[in-house]
A and B are shown apart, each in its own frame.
Chain A
Amino acid sequence: MGELTVRHHSAPALPDVDLTTELGGVTFPNPVFTASGCAAAGQELDQFFDVSALGGVVTKSIMLAPRSGRPTPRMAETPSGMLNSIGLQGPGIDSFLEHDLPWLADRGARAVVSIAGGSVEDYAKLAAQLRGRPGLSMVEVNISCPNVEDRGQVFACDPSSASAVVQAVRRNTDTKVPVFAKLSPDVTDIATIARACVNAGADGLSVINTLLGMVIDTTTMRPVLGGVTGGLSGPAIRPVAVRCVWQVHEALPGVPILGMGGIRTGLDALEFVLAGASAISVGTTVFGDPSAPMRVLHELAHALSQRGFARFQDAIGLAHRPPEAYVPEEPDPVGDDPPATGRRPLVGFEEER
Chain B
Amino acid sequence: MPVQVQGEVLSMRRVGAYNAMTIVAPGIAERTKPGHFVALQVGGSESSMLLRRAFAIYDVKERGVYGGTVEFVFSVHGRGTAWLAARRPQDKLDVVGPLGRPFRLPQGRVNATLVGGGYGSAPLLPLAKALRDRGCRVDFVLGAASIDRLFGQLDAKRMSSSIAVTTDDGSIGEQGRVSDVLPHVLDRTGADVVYACGPMAMLRAVSEIAAERGIPAQVAVEESMACGIGVCMTCVLPVIGDDGVSRMVRSCVEGPVFLGDRVRWNDVDSVPADVLGAPMSTGGGH
Contact = CB atoms under 8 A, between A and B. Distances in A.
Given A8-B4, A82-B226, A87-B280, A288 B236 contact: no
A77 B96 CA distance: 19
Nearest to B232: A287
Contacts of A40: 230-231, 233
B158 interface: no
Contacts of A66: 276-277
Contacts of B130: none
B282 A146 contact: yes
Interface string A171-213: 0000000000000000000000000000000000000011000
Given A77-B50, A86-B233, A88-B286, A69 B277 contact: yes
A39 B248 CA distance: 18
A33 to B, nearest CB: 14
Interface stretch (B56-64, B105-113, B141-149, B267-275): B267-275
Nearest to A65: B277
A210 B284 CA distance: 12
Contacts of A234: 50
Q: Which of B27, B94, B283 gathers most chain A CB within 10 Å?
A: B283
SS of B interface (majority): loop
Contacts of B230: 40, 44
Nearest to B80: A77
Interface string B25-56: 00100000000000001000001111110000
A1 B176 CA distance: 64
A227 B283 contact: yes
B281 interface: yes
SS of A interface (majority): loop
Contacts of A73: 224, 269
B201 interface: no
Contacts of A8: 3-4, 27
A288 B51 contact: yes
Interface string B208-249: 000000000000000110110111111111000000000110
A239 to B, nearest CB: 15
B248 A69 contact: yes
A85 B283 CA distance: 10
A308 B47 CA distance: 30
Nearest to B251: A72
A75 B51 CA distance: 10
Interface in A27-71: 37-40, 44-45, 47-48, 60-61, 65-71
B236 A290 contact: no
Interface string A281-311: 0001111111100000000000000000000
Contacts of A144: 285-286
A286 B3 contact: no
Given A73-B224, A75-B226, A226-B269, A142 B282 contact: no
B2 interface: yes
Interface residues of A, number: 61
Interface string B164-175: 000000000000
Contacts of A116: 285
A47 B229 contact: yes
Given A118-B281, A285-B50, A74 B270 contact: no
Interface string B87-112: 00000001010000000000000000
B234 A86 contact: yes
Contact of A68 (B80, B276, B284, B286): B276
A122 to B, nearest CB: 10
Contacts of A70: 271, 280, 283
A80 B44 CA distance: 12
Nearest to A262: B50
Contacts of A286: 227, 231
A44 B286 contact: no
A266 interface: no
Contacts of B223: 72
Interface string A264-293: 000000000000000000001111111100
A92 B50 contact: no
B1 interface: yes
Contact of B4 (A142, A231, A291): A291
Interface of A: 8-9, 37-40, 44-45, 47-48, 60-61, 65-75, 77, 79-82, 84-90, 92, 116, 118, 142, 144-146, 148, 152, 154, 209-210, 226-227, 230-231, 234-235, 284-291
6 contacts: A44-B231, A69-B233, A70-B271, A70-B280, A75-B226, A146-B282
Given A72-B223, A289-B94, 13 more contacts: A38-B231, A47-B2, A60-B233, A68-B276, A71-B269, A72-B268, A82-B51, A82-B226, A86-B233, A144-B285, A148-B281, A152-B282, A290-B231
Interface of B: 1-4, 27, 41, 47-52, 80, 94, 96, 223-224, 226-227, 229-237, 247-248, 253, 268-271, 275-286
